[in-house]
Chain A
């Protein structure tokens, strides 16, 4: 398996534009997590899914953020409209069920909103 795949690796966009980040989890993993990493706040959990269903989205900062998982092999995180303070590295991770299952991380998407 190629691991968790995120695209794009880098995204530069203007304030007000819509941004869509994509993630392909490892096949067979039931859990998918979206994290945001910044210098100020470290690694924040935004939302996670179990079997394509959002379980906890309490970390999503505002209504401008939305995430979907239409099937077991694909998830998106969308920001509309984007703002400069959304600039961060966004990570997707997937894992097997059960707390003992370790999470596998993608390489991240570095988002810059100018």
Chain B
């Protein structure tokens, strides 16, 4: 079975500050890794994904994430956040052998002016 843990339910940060949203996963098989963003009253949109290759992946809106296999982590980072980044962020895994897409509980990023 697989599980995804997002350690922080809420992350408050001031505008232009850096941010890191943490994600750890557990799986007995290899997985693909994703970060999705959900703006208020909307569905989820893909920010970035890791399939293979370079462990540092860049996504939309200036976000990037680094896959660390030994720590089974896939933390999301942005060097300078904007008010418009206020949203809920979800980490997800998709096992190689099932195509099931499993989400963490989400981290609410609140950016203050």
Contact = CB atoms under 8 A, between A and B. Distances in A.
A4 B43 contact: yes
Interface residues of B, number: 25
Contact of B34 (A48, A50, A102): A102
B90 A102 contact: no
Interface of B: 31-32, 34, 36, 41-46, 49, 51, 90, 94-96, 98-106
A95 B36 CA distance: 14
Interface of A: 4, 31, 33, 35, 41-43, 45, 48, 50, 55-56, 91, 93, 95, 97-100, 102-103, 105-108
A99 B99 contact: yes
In the complex, which of the residues B49, B99, B102, B105 has the most CB atoms of chain A within 10 Å of its own CB atom? B99
A30 to B, nearest CB: 9
23 contacts: A31-B99, A42-B90, A42-B106, A43-B44, A43-B90, A45-B100, A45-B103, A48-B99, A48-B100, A50-B99, A55-B98, A55-B100, A56-B98, A91-B43, A91-B44, A93-B44, A93-B101, A97-B99, A99-B32, A99-B99, A100-B49, A105-B45, A107-B42
Contacts of B103: 35, 42-43, 45
B43 A45 contact: no
Given A55-B100, A107-B42, 16 more contacts: A31-B99, A35-B103, A42-B105, A43-B44, A43-B103, A43-B105, A45-B101, A48-B99, A56-B98, A91-B44, A99-B31, A99-B32, A100-B51, A103-B44, A103-B46, A108-B42
Nearest to A106: B43
Given A99-B51, A99-B94, A45 B102 contact: yes
A99 B43 contact: no
Contacts of B95: 99
A45 B3 CA distance: 12
